[in-house]
Amino acid sequence: MAASAQLLLFEVPARPVTPPPRLTESLPAPPPAPSASRRRSQAWLALHFANLSLAAAYNAAPLDRRAMLDGSAWAVIDDDRLKHVVACNEQAWNQGVRPGHRMNAAIALCSSLTLISRDASAEARLLERIADECLKYTSAVSMQPPNEVLLEVRGSFRLFGGHAALMERIQADLSGLNAGLQLALAPTARSAQWLARAYSAPRVCLPRELAEALGSLPIASLQWPLPIELQLTRFGVTTLADLMRLSRKDLARRIGAGPVRELQQAMGRTAWLHHGWSTPPSYHDRILLDFEIETTALLEKLLERPLARLKRTLIGSARSIDELLITLKHREGSTPVAIRLQQATADTAHVATLLREHLDRLVLRAPVREVLIDAPRLLVAHPRNQSLAMDPATRTDVPSASELKARLLEQLQSRFGVNAIRALTVRAHHLPERAQCAEPPSQTLTAISTPPRLPRRPLWLFREPRPATREYRQGMFRIESSPETIETEAWEGASVRRAYYRARRRDGVACWIFRDLMSPHQWFVHGLFG
């Protein structure tokens, strides 16, 4: 059944617990407070993934696209205004592309560069998977978004044969991700984090070497806000040794108390509390039937009681689910039924509606003898306040518009299949056929937004422009706009020069036509307006 999640805090020394004295004995003097020398020494291992965005984009790509990416230069670009490169593979690196380059500069350096938009949710899921994997090395795991994991491994040295063997084991286990793993072992969590960012090779820092090792780090490895870095540069501070020579009081007044506190945490003078990571609890239920079920209608009736038990569990533990797996076991094996939700919910009535859609399309190969119900993750729920007001406009327990959209998407996917639903998305590209595409819908349905200065575009865009030279010469189109010229250079593929117009046919249909400027007598229809 569901297990309760725990919040772990590290770097807090435990005070020894002594049994209470008997009444017949005299009370002993209270034990002295543990000094810093009596504290248990710690060893923190920091895992820094320099190419986590690259690994997340590769793992999220279909198999056929992965084969294309393996043999080409590609990079992940951020969603900011200038489309900066976040990470690139080795082929793109060899051609001069670097993280931090703008998209136009990267394409100028590598004309065949493939660009993939950054997916923050995929990176978060990959980092959570890595944190789950690290639980087999130690129970003290702390996830530090966006691309770092901290492990307290002092108690794991004897189990794995020393710190060197442990670091080699972690490198071997995580090498398949190709996420640019950088390791550093240090007495404090903050110092291990900074060392892992600065060195690509594994680094081990002993307690007596802490001040010297941190002093050689550049200020950029601290990843402080850019205004603070620029201010320190104007002071002439380029390394951490220069920073540690300054007065803490003056430094806090100039750059704030937060960076000074991090510096004290790195030196071990101030504790840094971490939220421990643990695998979310799961739910399992099993129904062993005394008779065989041959129809999905009876099966739907049978699942009402297990769903009611699941609802009581979710409400009692303040949890929600984002996935429910139902396995139907019969003579010929088993039939899985997977219900994946766009938003986590504790409403089992909505889950029952989606289950009904799945069962309506299901054909049982043999009578069902056993049913397994599994929820892989019980997530922390965020309940809304229940209102006693009778006016629906003032109630807060009514589903929001985003939730209604997500439920509509879930119901459509359950009825027609996950691969049958597509959503229109826009990309930053000059060619219209590359600027609009149909992809699997994201977590929530969002409206397509375009820049305000972009001319009007048709919603129905043909996959390939249709020739219309003969119809244009026969006078079937009436031009209704001035020309919009779109040109692309040869380094983007084939050279394109087109003059687009909004036109209307004799039957009243609004069209988007263009004249090929490289062949001035050729006309094409590229899309239809609503």
pLDDT per position as a tens digit, 448-460: 555 556 677 787 8
According to CATH, where is 3.30.1490.100 located in the chain? 283-383+405-415
Average pLDDT over residues 317-324: 88
Say what the pLDDT of residue 317 is.
84
Residues in the chain: 530
According to CATH, where is 3.30.70 located in the chain? 44-48+123-266
CA distance readout (Å), 314 to 346, 348, 353? 6, 9, 18
Say what the pLDDT of residue 212 is.
92
**Residues 52-76: pLDDT tens digits?**
999 999 988 888 788 888 889 999 9
Percent of the chain surpassing pLDDT 70: 83
**Residues 326-368: pLDDT tens digits?**
999 998 889 999 888 878 888 888 898 888 888 888 888 889 9
In this prediction, residue 46 has a pLDDT band, given cuts at 50, 70 and 90, of very high
Helix ranges (DSSP H) in 284-331 = 296-302, 304-317
pLDDT at 213 over 60: yes
Complete DSSP assignment for 454-485: SPP--SEEEEEEEE-HHHHHTT-EEE-S--EE
Average pLDDT of the chain to the nearest whole number: 82
**Residue with more model confidence, 357 or 36:** 357
- Backbone region of residue 509 per phi and psi (left: phi > 0; alpha: psi in -120 to 50; beta: other values): beta
The three-class DSSP label of residue 257 is helix
Segment holding 228, helix H or strand E: helix 226-235
**Residues 90-141: pLDDT tens digits?**
999 999 999 999 998 999 999 889 999 898 888 998 999 999 899 999 989 9
Say what the pLDDT of residue 152 is.
94
**Tokens describing residue 338:** 């997977």
d(CA 142, CA 152): 9
Say what the pLDDT of residue 492 is.
55
Say what the pLDDT of residue 24 is.
36
d(CA 171, CA 4): 31
Percent of the chain surpassing pLDDT 90: 36
Q: What is the CA radius of gyration of the chain?
A: 30
Question: 283-293 and 319-330 as β-strands: parallel, antiparallel, unpaired?
Answer: unpaired
Say what the pLDDT of residue 453 is.
63
CATH 3.30.1490.100 matches 283-383+405-415: yes
CA distance readout (Å), 510 to 256, 455, 466? 60, 15, 15
Segment holding 86, helix H or strand E: strand 85-88
pLDDT at 390 over 50: no
CB 367 within 8 A of CB 330: yes
Nearest-10 crossing angle of helices 52-60, 120-134: 100
CATH fold for the domain made of 44-48+123-266: Alpha-Beta Plaits (3.30.70)
DSSP 430: S
Say what the pLDDT of residue 40 is.
65
The three-class DSSP label of residue 309 is helix
pLDDT at 203 over 90: yes
d(CA 168, CA 152): 16
d(CA 20, CA 42): 30
Say what the pLDDT of residue 8 is.
44
Segment holding 325, helix H or strand E: strand 319-330
Say what the pLDDT of residue 22 is.
43
In this prediction, residue 374 has a pLDDT band, given cuts at 50, 70 and 90, of very high
Prediction pTM value: 0.60
